[in-house]
Amino acid sequence: MTVKLSISVPDDVAAYLQSQGNASAAVTAAVRRVLPEARRTRQREAAQGFGKHLRERTPQQVDADTALVEASNDIALRGSEW
């Protein structure tokens, strides 16, 4: 979800944001740098969700994932010659 905001900033900050291709992304990145706890919370939640996903996989899914990883490694290490 996103929210549109209208803010006032000093001239130097405005010049920097106007020079960016995506001012929203620049502001978001800067704010997230000063809010490390919120970022850590999001990362922790994402890691917990991924761990839950991994724990819920069936043995067949685990085997299929393992085969895919091994095949990808073979291609990466030996080239793409069949």
Mean pLDDT of the chain: 89
Q: What is the DSSP letter of 82?
A: -
Domain ranges within the chain, ordered by starting residue: 11-78
Q: What are phi and psi of 66, to 5 degrees?
A: -65, -45
Predicted TM-score (pTM) of the model is 0.42
Query: Cα–Cα distance between 62 and 13 in angstroms, integer?
Result: 50
Q: What are phi and psi of 2, to 5 degrees?
A: -125, 155
Report residue 18's pLDDT band, with 50, 70 and 90 as the boundaries: very high
Report residue 50's pLDDT band, with 50, 70 and 90 as the boundaries: very high
What does the block give as tokens for 4?
């549109």
Does the pLDDT value for residue 73 go beyond 60?
yes
